[in-house]
Amino acid sequence: MNAINAKNPGQCTNGTKWLLEHLICGDDGNLSWQSDPLFDIWLEVISSNLDFGDSSKDEDLRRELFFKAIKKAKRDGLRVDEWKDFEPYLQSAVSEYRGQPVQMWQILMPLGLSGPWITQKETLEVLNHKFRVARWQNLQEEIGLQGFYDDMSQTLTSGPESILEIWRFTPLLIEAYGRTQREAFEVALRHFDLLRALLTLIERYQTREHQFGFQYSPLAICPVPPVYGVFSATGSFELAYYPRGLIQNEVTEVATDVGARVESVLARIHALDDSLKVVLVDALLRFGEAMDVNDWEIAFLKLWQSLERLVHTDRQTGSDEIARRVTLLTGVQSPQSDLVKVLADKRNALVHRGQFSDEGLRQVNFIKGLVEQMVSHFLVISQKLPTAQMQVEYYKMAFAPPHELEARSKAITFILDSRKAGKQVNYK
């Protein structure tokens, strides 16, 4: 059984005591609470403090499991003096969640793409997850599309016309596994979003976008679809997910050579060591998130986060160091190297002072081009330095003066030679 860790047990104890005091348990056993802003604040503070392994990566799930535990503790009349008094309740909620059987769901993901590359395919593989390229007219025989259509008609503002709009998309169907529908959907969505991000990166590689007027459009060539569908293993309709934010019904035709390059990059990512794969996929997903918004400040920050991931930085790494690493990896010279420093300054001004250019798309174009170059260089350097640890060490030593690198090289060579000769045994 995995331990449940609270980063600040004292803080969690105080918040749990407050919540237990303010939750109201009726005679029928149902719980209620008064409208108090502290209720949501304590839920946010405590759930953000909790760590119980892989299951705690999902912020909403972490909050949901904590709330389930607090309700059980209230019904039992628990008194909390120390965090360890409440821990068994949280452990029980987490164990119950983990104990659920893993099931398969079919996830319908409409892709805003047309053209022979996608429509003539039967399957499309994204990092060991296989999407089946379906046809709307054939899907009716396999899954409960009518329930899906009815849900769309009642939920989307376009009503029954939403069915005609969704037919313009290419339906992708994927079998995803999870303890819950949401867990399975998140797995499918991560790979779907990676595909969309790569399509934009390849199609618009090193291009600049220009938009005029008061309503800007996201830069993604495959925008977020208006709806996703979740179906059981046998095909019955379960529920629909409606993405938040700006939704567009645009469909883009992509050239066959673009699709082929996307598949080539996916194959190269798949071949990476797992430590590098997770870094690059996360960076590409941040890139994709930037392409999905029409707020240039958000897009700029998402792209900067992508840069941070690609050069293996942590929370303590300053933007100047990130700019140095980007310049090192891309090998750009002045004035491009000067631009990297300018972008770092703009990031600082935006984060710390809320200042950003009125011509935000211009700044996004600059940093977008930089991220695209970085992805290419990341794949190249990964052939020489095939693990994340090697690349981290590379950045640590890359700026050292030659005499220091020579001294380190001699010391490392001496250590390795001594070990081979058996002169140093207890080095572990």
* pLDDT, tens digit (0-9, with 9 covering 90-100), for 308-359: 999 998 777 888 888 889 988 888 777 887 888 888 888 888 877 777 776 7
Give pTM, 2 decimals.
0.88
What does the pLDDT read at residue 338?
83
Residue carrying the six token digits 């693990």: 387
The verdict on 70 and 137 lying in the same domain is: no
- Integer angstrom CA distances of residue 52 from 6, 63, 90: 9, 12, 10
The verdict on 249 and 149 lying in the same domain is: yes
Residue 225 has pLDDT above 80, yes or no: yes
Output the CA angle 287-365-116, nearest 5 degrees. Answer: 60
Choose the final residue of a domain: 76, 98, 120.
Answer: 98
Tell me the pLDDT band of 246, cut-offs 50, 70 and 90. Answer: low
User: Do strands 103-111 and 50-51 pair parallel, antiparallel, or not at all (unpaired)?
Assistant: unpaired
pLDDT tens digit sequence for 346-403: 888 887 777 777 678 888 999 999 999 999 999 999 999 999 999 999 998 988 899 9
The verdict on 321 and 248 lying in the same domain is: no
The verdict on 120 and 267 lying in the same domain is: yes
The verdict on 130 and 82 lying in the same domain is: no
Residue 1 has pLDDT above 50, yes or no: no
User: How many Å apart are CA 52 and CA 10, to the nearest integer?
Assistant: 17
pLDDT tens digit sequence for 148-173: 999 999 998 777 788 888 899 999 99
Residues of the domain holding 216: 103-271
The verdict on 69 and 216 lying in the same domain is: no
Roughly what angle, to the nearest 10 degrees, separates helices 274-291 and 296-310? 170
Choose the final residue of a domain: 64, 98, 132.
Answer: 98
User: How many Å apart are CA 197 and CA 191, to the nearest integer?
Assistant: 10
The verdict on 359 and 302 lying in the same domain is: yes
Q: Is 346 exposed, middle or buried (CB count within 10 Å of its CB: 0-12, 13-18, 19+)?
A: buried
| Summary mean pLDDT of the chain | 88
What does the pLDDT read at residue 354?
77
Domain count, the chain: 4
The verdict on 122 and 73 lying in the same domain is: no
Q: Which position has the higher pLDDT, 37 or 69?
A: 69
Question: What φ, ψ does residue 9 adopt, rounded to 5°?
Answer: -60, -35
User: How many Å apart are CA 107 and CA 177, to the nearest integer?
Assistant: 10
